[in-house]
A and B are shown apart, each in its own frame.
Chain A
Amino acid sequence: MIETALQDLWFGFGVALEPHNLMYCFLGVLVGNLVGVLPGMGPVATISILLPLTFGMKPVAAILMLAGVYYGAQYGGAICSILLNLPTHPPHAVTCLDGFPLTKQGKGGTALGITVIASFMGASFGITEMIFLAPFLVKVALQFGPAEVCSLMLVGLLAGSTLARGSPLKGIAMTVLGLLIGIVGTDIETGTTRFTFGILELDDGVEIVTLALGLFGIAEFMNSMNQTAAVDTKYSKVGFRDMFPSRADLKRAFFPMVRGTLLGSMCALIPGTGPTIASFVSYATEKKISRTPERFGHGAIEGVACPEASTHSSVQGDFIPTMSLGIPGDVTMALLLGALIIQGIVPGPQLISEHPDIFWGLIASFWIGNILLVILNVPMIGLWVKLLSIPYRYLYPSAMFFICIGVYAANNDMFQVGETVAIGIFGYVLLRLDFHPAPILLGFVLGPRFEENFRRAMLISRGDLKVFIERPISAAFLTLCVLLIAGQIYVWLRRPKSVAGAGEIEAKLPASPYTELSG
């Protein structure tokens, strides 16, 4: 099986390296990269706009270009997260948490360098996985019923409790707030609308792009407005040397990259979990298993490497169920399939056998595209960091402007622009009250999926709760939850008793005349 896969891959490279196809691949990744840097307008909007252009194109070139937009956008997304604390797309929201502190320490270039490396590693793994393991993984993925996904979401919510900075109580409050915001919209099970207050535009809920940009973009900007010296302009003078991460950084970031990659590829296969969930869960997991969790949130390089690796591997892995089963994992995949259908090609299990040039050409183009992106991005790091030298009074309003345009361009909907601004103002209030918004996004993303799958599992099992324990994969996840909670309790019980002990020791000392003097 491996030999035939390699042979097919060689054939795929032959297809992808044809000048015509190569040109379109390059165009796709270039556009994708640029779009990734712009807030709001993501791969979905871009692919919708490019879709009509694919009419006159040959199917291979068309799909190469559109796919390039998708994974190219992921490369651009981290840039503003790290340098400006503005995530242009939801999967990169977590990267802000450690990326921006790194910029403030003058290591913005290093962070970007690590991002590119992590991205390439994550993507490569996703591609390799796709080539060799696709049929096997698809079989595993089909074993994931609602009970399994529900338990997985529970693990994610528990692990994600580490995302909270500061008071744990505030962290819980924010997560619950995220859950509540996630409930807004139409209930899948019954079709009734919840929390929409009769507003038609809220029937489909709050969009994640709106929430992420509002909370992390607008709110943070408004918060920084009073702090004129937030980023020292000396950090913008980045020498070529500074762009490359130091050996120590690389060593520290290596294993988080690996873990992030594995987690991301797992999330790609499970229906309903995408790059956003992958990045959040991998960051939370990394923080939980780290020996120095207090460094996270203050510029830990692992906190940048692992979510980026996870996002990229999840994006590449997303293609697996789409190409093998013909079932799109999310909206972007549905668009890509639509592009194929317009060309008269019906995706499905037989795509590999009937149109090997499309399938293997696409996979080969992933490699080529990712290499092109690395070549594009590495020299550009210095250029992006120069962005910081633009005075705040021009930079921030421009960014806000781009946010509004981006949100509008994504869905042609002014209501969402208003929504973003409203959420931004609300987020600003939260920040002033010392609540940090990261857990909101976690609750928003994981909560509704947890509820949906819980109710579906209950529906199918006709109300039998034992289904969560009877199904092996679900039981495994639940055990993980129990271990997480138990581990947390253990750590808490074993915390050093020095504070409590000192008082006892003092009380036992015989009273001495000197203690009265020193009082």
Chain B
Amino acid sequence: MLKRGIVAAFVAALFAVPCAAQEYPARAVKIIVPFGAGGPADVAARIIGNAMQEKFGQPLVVEDRPGAGGLIGTMEVVKAAPDGYTLLMMSNTQTANESLVPQRKYRLMHDLVPIAPVNYSDLVLVVNPSVKAKTLAEFIVLAKAEPGKLNYASSGQGTPYHMAGELFKAMAGIDVVHVPYRSSGDARNGVIGGQVEMMIDAVPAMAPNIAAGQVRALATTGKARSAVLPDVPTASEAGVPGYGATIWLGVMAPAGTPKEIVDKLNVAISEVARRPDVVKLWAAQGAIPMSMTPQEFDAYLRADIVKWADVVKRFSQQPK
């Protein structure tokens, strides 16, 4: 009797293993957003989470764990069990941190496995109306004529706005002084109020102010013109060929997460990110869905890390 029981259990166990991937997710999945509540990553996670809940029938719970420039939330996912029930909503902040924060206790590509990108948003280079340049080319000429005189705002050292600014400086060959603020809201106040001349900011945040004439948009930073600002040329078109800086969001999981779960999530996220109602929400924010296979995303991440490493090296070497 006992022997039969053991054999039965053994056979049942054989079936259980492949079934585990089929049944995923069997309970609520947690996605950790290492940024503040209400920000673009948080909003995107909630939108995706809502849509995936409809798809899988299991809730996708968003947990905000801000702190230390994204490090705290990222560490939490690194330490989580690789069973697919804890995910990380990350952005180019994480790829930049690889070079910005050498003392961090994880390696992005080693401790986490890429699942899928979600969307990307262009940035826009705006200037205060008091600046006499009406196009990007004029601005570059102005900046070159008076090196070290103009200022640009960002929401802090190492933030995507700062990095985009430094890349622009390097590629355009100009010298503008970086003025970090405590938050993106403060930085915007600085540009609108005129204390600082320029800022590279998120399109949805600045679009209303551009429309109201409080700031002037000189260029957007994507490969193609932004749908929200179709009259504004890209930086590539307007005088700095090859310049590209976007804020993109993606999902990763702890290293060791089974491949079936990674693939399943990849398919689900790509599908959800391209659903018409979600795309409409993205469009209002100036975000465009991205979809890649996990391998493509892996290559994309590695390239991004290298790109920002170069920028960090350049501005770390500048005299303070």
**Chain A residues in the interface with B (C-beta under 8 A):** 44, 47-48, 51-52, 55, 141-146, 186, 188-191, 200-201, 203-204, 271-272, 321, 325-329, 331, 334-339, 341-342, 344-351, 412-413, 452, 456, 459-460
Residues of B within 8 A of A48 (CB): 37-38, 64
Cα separation A73 to B157 with both chains bound (whole Å): 33
In the complex, the chain A residue whose C-beta lies closest to that of B162 is A191
Q: Judge whether A341 and B68 touch: CB under 8 Å.
A: no
Q: Judge whether B285 and A335 touch: CB under 8 Å.
A: no
13 contacts between A and B (CB under 8 A): A48-B64, A52-B50, A203-B68, A271-B189, A327-B189, A334-B39, A341-B43, A346-B285, A348-B211, A349-B209, A350-B211, A413-B65, A459-B177
Q: Which of B43-75 contact A (CB under 8 A)?
A: 43, 46-47, 49-50, 62-69, 71-72, 75
Cα separation A331 to B185 with both chains bound (whole Å): 10
Q: Judge whether B157 and A52 touch: CB under 8 Å.
A: no
Q: Which of B61-115 contact A (CB under 8 A)?
A: 62-69, 71-72, 75, 100
**How far is the CB of B197 from the nearest CB of chain A, in Å?**
10
Q: Judge whether B188 and A327 touch: CB under 8 Å.
A: yes
In the complex, the chain A residue whose C-beta lies closest to that of B211 is A350
State whether the Cβ of B273 lies closer than 8 Å to any Cβ in chain A. Answer: no
Residues of B within 8 A of A338 (CB): 37-39, 42-43
Residues of A within 8 A of B100 (CB): 191
**How far is the CB of A63 from the nearest CB of chain B, in Å?**
13
Knowing that A188-B181, A201-B68 are A-B contacts, what are 15 other residue pairs whose CB atoms are under 8 Å apart, sorted by A's residue number? A143-B193, A145-B195, A188-B156, A189-B180, A191-B158, A200-B72, A321-B189, A331-B37, A341-B284, A344-B281, A344-B284, A346-B204, A346-B285, A349-B212, A350-B208
**How far is the CB of A5 from the nearest CB of chain B, in Å?**
19
Q: Judge whether A337 and B38 touch: CB under 8 Å.
A: yes
Q: Judge whether B285 and A203 touch: CB under 8 Å.
A: no
Cα separation A349 to B204 with both chains bound (whole Å): 12
The A/B interface has a contact count, at CB < 8 Å, of 144
Q: A143-B193, A188-B180, A350-B211 are in contact. Are A341 and B62 (CB under 8 A)?
A: no
Q: Judge whether B186 and A272 touch: CB under 8 Å.
A: yes
**How far is the CB of B168 from the nearest CB of chain A, in Å?**
19
In the complex, the chain A residue whose C-beta lies closest to that of B188 is A327
Q: Judge whether B192 and A325 touch: CB under 8 Å.
A: yes
Residues of B within 8 A of A203 (CB): 67-69, 71
Q: Which of A186, A342, A349 has the most CB of B within 10 A?
A: A342
Q: Judge whether A339 and B180 touch: CB under 8 Å.
A: no
Q: A201-B72, A271-B189, A342-B281 are in contact. Are A348 and B179 (CB under 8 A)?
A: no
Q: Judge whether B195 and A146 touch: CB under 8 Å.
A: yes
State whether the Cβ of B36 lies closer than 8 Å to any Cβ in chain A. Answer: yes
Cα separation A6 to B69 with both chains bound (whole Å): 45
User: Which A-B residue pairs are the 6 nearest by beta carbons?
Assistant: A348-B208, A338-B38, A191-B157, A142-B193, A203-B68, A335-B38
